[in-house]
Amino acid sequence: MANEPDGSRPLLQVRDLHKHFGAVKATDGVNIELRQGELHALIGPNGAGKSTLITQLCGELRPDSGTIMLAGEEVTALTATARARKGLSRSFQITELCADYTALENVMLSLLLVTGRAFGWWSDPRKDADLNTKAKQWLDEVGLGARIDVRVANMAHGEKRQLELAVALARAPRLLLLDEPMAGMGAEESARMTTLLQGLKRRYTILLVEHDMDAVFALADRITVLVYGKTVFTGTADEVRNHPDVRAAYLGEEETC
């Protein structure tokens, strides 16, 4: 297991990021820095710009201005595919899996993306023993070792979220962007996902977007609060809990829901 997050080695640096949609400022001068090995949470009320920021970080949406640095290299103008090749992997708010494929085949597809291979008539990767072994290892990692042959369409919601995480991890990410991995989960499923993410800490650098505040406070090394497209505060869980502006803008709102 890796050491504690190294503050001298930022893996992700976001500087003065702006994205406007007409008069709407979705990101308004966002600044975030993720240390190597850190689990960093991004929180904020609905409409704060969290998903828009994530789409800019992964390359699906170009910012109007600002810079995104990954491991000291500017990637602001790179495509999502190019960023994925540099080790940036993402999970989504809404599960994006191949419903007609099994859990094992979904992870195989992810592994093949790294190598450039694909399922084909003449050379079926599903018969590749090494590929099978690697895919099974990632399913074991997320607690789905007993569900390898189950079609995604027949899996429970929580299992699909676990599988999506296995798919992301199979790409050997340097930076893992998790966009509300507990969305739609019940208490038991959320607790299971929290335990799973706890086991990934220090092994991966993770940016977690999540509304489950119990999970955020249990997992995050640091938390950045986003309100109306602006980063209003970054600190530890205790600092965020006790910050008056944060409580007024977000936590107080959450507690009354």
For the whole model, what pTM was predicted? Answer: 0.85
Render pLDDT for 46-76 as a digit per residue (tens, 0 to 9): 888 998 999 999 999 999 999 999 999 999 9
Spell out the SS3 assignment of 5-31.
Answer: CEEEEEEEEEEEEEEEECCEEEEEEEE
Q: For residue 36, what are the β-bridge partners?
A: 6
Higher-confidence residue: 127 or 152?
152
The pLDDT score that the predictor gives to residue 48 is: 87
Render pLDDT for 121-145 as a digit per residue (tens, 0 to 9): 445 667 788 889 999 999 999 999 9
CA atoms within 13 A on the CB side of 135: 26
Q: For residue 58, what are the β-bridge partners?
A: none
Render pLDDT for 198-233 as a digit per residue (tens, 0 to 9): 999 989 999 999 988 899 999 999 999 998 899 989
Spatial CB neighbours of 218, under 8 Å, sequence gap ≥ 6:
194, 198
- Asked whether the beta carbons of 93 and 179 are under 8 A apart, the reply is yes
Give all domains of the chain, ordered by start, each with its CATH number. Answer: 1-87+173-257 (3.40.50.300), 97-171 (no CATH)
Residue (of 146, 147, 167, 165) closest to 155 by Cα position: 147
Task: State the CB neighbour count (10 A cutoff) for residue 29.
Answer: 14
